[in-house]
Copies of this chain bind each other. A is one copy, B any other.
Amino acid sequence: MLGAMGEANPRGLRDEKKRVTRHNLRLAALRLVDERGLEGTTTEEIAQAAGVSPRTFFNYFPTKESALVGVDAELAEAMLAAIRERPAGEPPLTVMREVYLQFAEVTAADRDLWTLRIQVARANPSLLSQVFGNSTKWDRRVAEAIAQRTGRDHHTDPYPALVASVANAARRSAVHRWAISDSEAPLSEAIAAAFDLLAAGLPEPPDSPGTATERAGA
């Protein structure tokens, strides 16, 4: 029944089954919503497609949407650790740039799942809001990490929160662009371009540098 199961078995059969069930629910949710839309899919159908009872769905995900666009807690912690481990004295904006560039490849790794996610998210805009809405907590945690790095007090000093929210906005913008783009340009390129503009004070660039379109003249 659990045929194509990975060889890794970290903490017994029980955890492995949970992992499989979680994955089945995610996949079933994405596929069904991709076909029938968000409103046209009930949690009951998702549960049935994944081979579990309706009640069990909510043992794995708090909301229907979280099965579709839920974030990976481990990844978030890894990013925060990366922020803290950057060389002392490095400018905060550079820190964010480098960390996001570093993790861009991780994000691009399982592009299949991401592609399906993006596809579903594009068809159901409320999901995109959901994704970005969750970023408030993220902004805050990043602000704390930056404050810690720079020896500032994020309760009284507006700078860490500003850098965090602006850097995250820049990254979101780049990821969004990359996700809806047809071109095969790597995510890291879009992120680098965004942070370059940020560091320069957002001057108006000559032309769209992130797309495949090249200027005919110059």
Seen from chain A, the residues whose Cβ lies within 8 Å of a Cβ on chain B are: 91-93, 125, 128-137, 150, 152-153, 156-159, 161-163, 165-166, 168-170, 172-174, 176-177, 190, 193-194, 197-205, 207-211, 213
Contact = CB atoms under 8 A, between A and B. Distances in A.
11 contacts: A91-B204, A125-B137, A128-B136, A129-B134, A157-B210, A161-B173, A162-B197, A165-B172, A166-B169, A169-B169, A199-B201
A93 B198 contact: no
Contacts of A130: 129, 133
Nearest to A129: B133
Given A93-B202, A201-B198, A210 B169 contact: no
A61 B209 CA distance: 41
Contacts of A159: 197, 204-205, 208
Contact of A202 (B162, B173, B176, B177): B162
A162 B207 CA distance: 14
A198 B194 CA distance: 13
B198 A173 contact: no
Contacts of A199: 201-202
A194 B125 CA distance: 29
Given A166-B198, A202-B199, A158 B91 contact: no
A158 B132 contact: no
Given A202-B92, A204-B92, A162 B129 contact: no
Given A125-B137, A163-B202, A202-B92, A174 B158 contact: yes
Nearest to A205: B159
Given A93-B201, A150-B204, A202-B199, A158 B125 contact: no
